[in-house]
Amino acid sequence: MEQTFLMIKPDAVQRNLIGEIVARFERKGFKLVAAKLTTISEPLAKKHYAEHDGKPFFHDLVSFITSGPVFAMVWEGENVIESSRKMMGKTNPQEAETGTIRGDFGLVMHRNIIHGSDSPESATREINLFFKKEEIQSYEKNV
Ligand code: CMP
């Protein structure tokens, strides 16, 4: 079954939005198979955001994502990568539709509440960066 990596960013953790955001994915029917509250090291942040290395916002991005705890998760389900990206809304909260996570809770691009993998390849890479195999659960879900 398809898996994706989702990460609630420091801004949303500090605003007590973890429960609200997790509830949306639970209600949708996806299965939470791994989660941890953790503060990311600078080397891990740089690896995670390697594709943005060299962009003007890279330094601020790394500094923001390491500024406080994030809630890192692995979710599983049919088409979870594309579907969770729809639920998050556009990267820029000002362009994200109302009803999406960024549209409902975000104001600005550099504090955009949540990150989600954008392809199966990034999902595999990001899950492996943040979680060991034994931290990922396998269980039956009765829907
Ligand atoms: P995320 O989905 O975590 O992936 C990369 C992040 O870079 C993105 O969310 C935004 O927070 C940030 N980002 C992308 N483009 C810009 C930009 N032009 N200015 C500032 N931050 C950006």
Give the model confidence (pLDDT) of 101-116 as tens digits.
999 999 999 999 999 9
Residue with tokens 């504090």: 111
Q: Separation of 8 CA from ligand 1 center, angstroms?
A: 14
Residue closest via CA to ligand 1's atom 12 equals: 110
**Residue 77 pLDDT more than 80?**
yes
**What residue ranges line ligand 1, CB within 6 angstroms?**
52, 57, 61, 91, 109-110, 112, 115
Ligand 1 nearest atom to the CA of residue 64, by list position: 11
Catalytic residues: 115
- The helix (run of H) or strand (run of E) holding residue 35 is strand 31-38
The pair of three-digit structure tokens given for residue 93, joined into one six-digit string: 């909260």
Residue 136: per-residue pLDDT: 97
**C-alpha to C-alpha distances, 34 to 40, 61, 125, 132, nearest whole angstrom:** 16, 24, 15, 10
Q: Is 57 annotated as a binding residue?
A: yes
Identify the CA nearest to 71 among candidates 101, 26, 38, 45. 38
139 within a domain of the structure (yes/no): no
Question: CATH number, domain at 13?
Answer: 3.30.70.141
141 within a domain of the structure (yes/no): no
Q: Separation of 133 CA from ligand 1 center, angstroms?
A: 28
Give the predicted TM-score (pTM) of the model.
Answer: 0.95
Reduce the DSSP state of residue 15 to 3 states and report it.
coil
Distance, in Å, from the CA atom of 103 to the CA atom of 123, rounded to the nearest integer, reads: 23
**Residue 143 pLDDT more than 80?**
no
17 within a domain of the structure (yes/no): yes
Residue 100: per-residue pLDDT: 98
Residue 141: per-residue pLDDT: 81
19 within a domain of the structure (yes/no): yes
Q: Separation of 61 CA from ligand 1 center, angstroms?
A: 7
How many folded domains does the chain comprise? 1
Residue 79 structural domain: 2-132
83 within a domain of the structure (yes/no): yes
93 within a domain of the structure (yes/no): yes
Distance, in Å, from the CA atom of 8 to the CA atom of 101, rounded to the nearest integer, reads: 11
101 within a domain of the structure (yes/no): yes
The ipTM estimated for the assembled molecules is 0.91
Ligand 1 nearest atom to the CA of residue 9, by list position: 3
143 within a domain of the structure (yes/no): no
Q: Which residues pair with 139 in a beta bridge?
A: none
